[in-house]
Amino acid sequence: MGDANIRRPWKNGNPQLQYNQGFVNLNYILHIYQILSPILPHLPSLIQQRDLSLYLHIHSRCLSCLNPLYNLFIKNGIKTISPSLIDWITPVSLAYWSMDDGSRTPEGFYLNTHSFSYEEQIILKDILFTKFNILCNIHKHKNKYKLYIRAKSMDIFKQLVKPYYISHFYYKLNI
């Protein structure tokens, strides 16, 4: 979930995590680097794109301990959502997911889940309700869908994630 991805650089090798963030989020990528530093081979790389914008990139070593995460999210080489995610999602992971891929609205909060199918949106919606009592709607956005945390669940959502938010992203919680 979020801006990280997990992949196997070699067909039968162990997976690695990769993470990209725009340079504007330097504090955040340094925060992520600090957390993941035991499994990272080097400092974040600064990459300049063709349009001259900058982003920061980190990747982990290829590690067998990442196989359970890889197997949770990757099926036939495609990132997917399965009901077993309910056993993995925590307030901490929800906080990082929302810092990476979230945006506030005047009353609620979007989790930008555009890359998942409608069926996977239903799974995510059910997980958030079952695990945290967070009510969500699925909103159509162009040809895709994304989750919307309803206004009546914002207090629950904020209580869960705020302890893990870095101040750089407090604006997403309207703090």
Q: What number is the average pLDDT over the span 96-114?
A: 93
Place of tokens 């300049």: 48
Beta strand extents in the chain (DSSP E only): 4-7, 16-22, 45-48, 54-59, 74-75, 78-79, 102-104, 109-111, 136-141, 144-149
DSSP summary character for residue 153: G
Contacts of 21 (CB under 8 A, 6+ apart): 3, 28, 29, 32, 55, 56
Which pLDDT score, from 0 to 100, does residue 118 have? Answer: 95
Token look-up 């893990």 returns 164
d(CA 134, CA 67): 29
pLDDT (tens digit, 9 = 90+) per residue, 122-166?
999 999 999 999 999 999 988 999 999 999 999 999 999 999 999
pLDDT digits (tens, 9 = 90+) for 27-59: 999 999 999 999 999 999 999 989 998 999 999
Least confident of 9-13, 67-71, 94-98, 116-120: 9-13
